[in-house]
A and B are shown apart, each in its own frame.
Chain A
Amino acid sequence: MRIKGKKHRFQAVSGLASFSFLSWLTVAAILLLWFLVTAAGWVSAFVLPSPANLWSEFQVLVANGYAGKTLSEHILASLFRTFTGLGLGIALGVPLGLLMGYSRIAHAILGPIFSFLRPIPPIAFIPLMILYFGIGEFSKVALIFLAALYYVVLNSSAGVRTVPQDLLRAGLNLGLSRAKLFSKVVFWAALPHIMTGIKTATAISWAIVVAAELIAAQAGLGFMVMDATTFFRVPNVYLGIIIIGLIGVALETVTVAIDRKLLHWMGR
């Protein structure tokens, strides 16, 4: 049986490798299509710059920066807002979610707030955040914090509430106190859900920081895209979008790797 388990994993990994070849093929096809469309002149170079043109614009951007700030300053500005808001959201969201899942009283008290927030997209709070906290760093970090908090709390509390009853009974049966039952059984059994919350919150945070910067910021990738649009600097719009996308993919890769590492015992 052990051999079978190992074999399954091996197959999954090798299977993934052969499919990732297909993914690279997609990327290559899109680049090729882009090249052909622009080389043939089917669309105006103003609307869609050619790959070569964009590459040279990228080098200019790296060398000169944008709107008085270097490219890395823009990237770091966005990343700083994301990680500050996300970090605070996780730090508060996990304990709060666990509490809501464990205590019916806490669930009853906090439940309505989260039920109300459920249908509201986080970016709908951008105007209020600006009204409350101005257009500085704090309003953006606060917005990301709220969005991250929401996803982490919701998943963590669901994780606790779906712990199988027999697992709790097994813990009590083995002589665990209520406190130890929580730290040794409930937390671990809820960890897959907690990690889902963290992964979702990370992806959402990155999307929201860009949205927040579109509206009010003096730095950041969202600011760059918005500002370049205003001044018809189309290559910079494309470059901003591509960098946002690539960083998003990188964040996803990192969170998935952490998830795999922490939850290796699920045998996925």
Chain B
Amino acid sequence: MKNSTDAPGASRKVKISLAGVGRVFQPTSKRSSPVVALKGVNGEVFEEEIVGLLGPSGCGKTTLLNLIAGFDRQDEGEIIVAGKKVERPGPDRMVVFQFPALFAWLTVWENVVFGPKERGENQKEYEPRARSLLESVGLKGREHDYPYQLSGGMKQRVQLARALLNQPEVLLMDEPFGALDSQTRSQMQELLHDVWALYHPTILLVTHDAEEALFLCHRIYVMDCQGEIRETIHVPFPFPRKFDLIGSTDFAHLKYTLLSALRAEEEKPDCHKQVGEKTQEGGAI
């Protein structure tokens, strides 16, 4: 286990590399026109880095995450994760969904070990890791519960443990705390940092919440309404970050800068263009 707690330096390995990534959604009916969801997106995420993808709703954040996860294919450009071109979904890129996609008919334990078990991996290897992961996300003693017995925050803990057990190259989180109440959300944000301090996963976090991005990330990509990355913000606060941070002047100042940029973007006339995206996306897994 490494002791580094600060933002990764330039010498770190690149885990996600995006080169000129574009995605256009074809019209679903004759009346609508094609929607450019992403346009020439370039960027990278370094090993052990937490990078936020922040932008107004409908700016293509989730589209980009789905491309990296392999749920969808880009029309242009290349996505490379840990040296491999992304072609299909796989456990090297684990997704934490906004609405916990847990298997309701399996217990917490069965949900967590599902991946390695179904891939026929060595039980003696993954079971001890599953136990310590469940402990680090605070689910010890809940192994035999079914998802319906868990609160929203608990379900997200299960998703996090399930994802990390697969030892992914990158963790892709899609508004993971967006559906939680503010109290639980702030607890989960701290928990994510605790977990990061233990396992140092590389994380790409999609969020529309500027405060969440500032609190959690080493670096933030701000997207604009054209589906492009507009700027990169380095978040200077040292790890481990605690709740008190959001009360500091520096934090408030950075948050103001970020929110102003987002507001300016939201007010542009061609924002919120992707009304038809959901329906077309529904077809592809």
Contacts and interface: CB of A to CB of B under 8 A. Distances in A.
Contact of A5 (B90, B97, B148): B148
Interface in B73-97: 88-91, 93-95, 97
A169 B118 contact: no
Interface stretch (A33-41, A74-82, A160-168): A160-168
B142 A173 contact: no
Given A1-B150, A2-B145, A5-B148, A176 B118 contact: yes
B154 A172 contact: no
B118 A175 contact: yes
A266 interface: yes
B103 interface: yes
A75 to B, nearest CB: 37
Interface string A188-219: 11010000000000000000000000000000
A180 B150 CA distance: 26
Contact of B115 (A2, A175, A265): A175
A173 B94 contact: yes
Given A169-B95, A180-B118, A1 B151 contact: yes
A170 B104 contact: no
A42 B103 CA distance: 61
Q: For chain B, which range describes its interface: under 10, 10 to 19, 20 to 34, or 35 or more residues? A: 20 to 34
B146 to A, nearest CB: 5
Given A165-B282, A188-B105, A1 B149 contact: yes
B170 interface: no
B97 A170 contact: yes
Nearest to B153: A1
Interface string A224-268: 000000000000000000000000000000000000000001110
Interface in B195-222: none
Nearest to B95: A173
B25 interface: no
Contact of B97 (A166, A175, A188, A266): A166
Nearest to A169: B71
Q: For chain A, which range describes its interface: under 10, 10 to 19, 20 to 34, or 35 or more residues? A: 20 to 34
Chain A contact residues, majority secondary structure = helix
A185 interface: yes
B146 A174 contact: no
B282 A170 contact: no
B166 interface: yes
A1 B151 CA distance: 7
B104 A266 contact: yes
B239 interface: no
Given A175-B119, A267-B148, A1 B104 contact: no
A69 interface: no
A184 B101 contact: no
Contacts of B275: none
Contacts of B282: 165
Contacts of B285: 165, 168-169, 172
Contacts of B89: 169, 172-173
Contacts of A172: 71, 88-89, 285
Given A174-B166, A176-B118, A267 B146 contact: yes
B103 A167 contact: yes
A23 to B, nearest CB: 28
Interface in B125-157: 142, 145-151, 154
A12 to B, nearest CB: 13
26 contacts: A1-B149, A1-B150, A2-B145, A2-B149, A164-B101, A166-B97, A166-B101, A168-B285, A169-B71, A169-B97, A169-B285, A170-B95, A170-B97, A170-B102, A172-B285, A173-B94, A174-B162, A174-B166, A175-B91, A175-B118, A175-B119, A175-B166, A180-B118, A188-B103, A189-B103, A267-B148
Top 7 closest A-B pairs, CB basis?
A: A267-B148, A174-B115, A170-B101, A166-B101, A172-B89, A5-B149, A175-B91
Interface of B: 69, 71, 88-91, 93-95, 97, 99, 101-106, 114-115, 118-119, 142, 145-151, 154, 162, 166, 282, 285
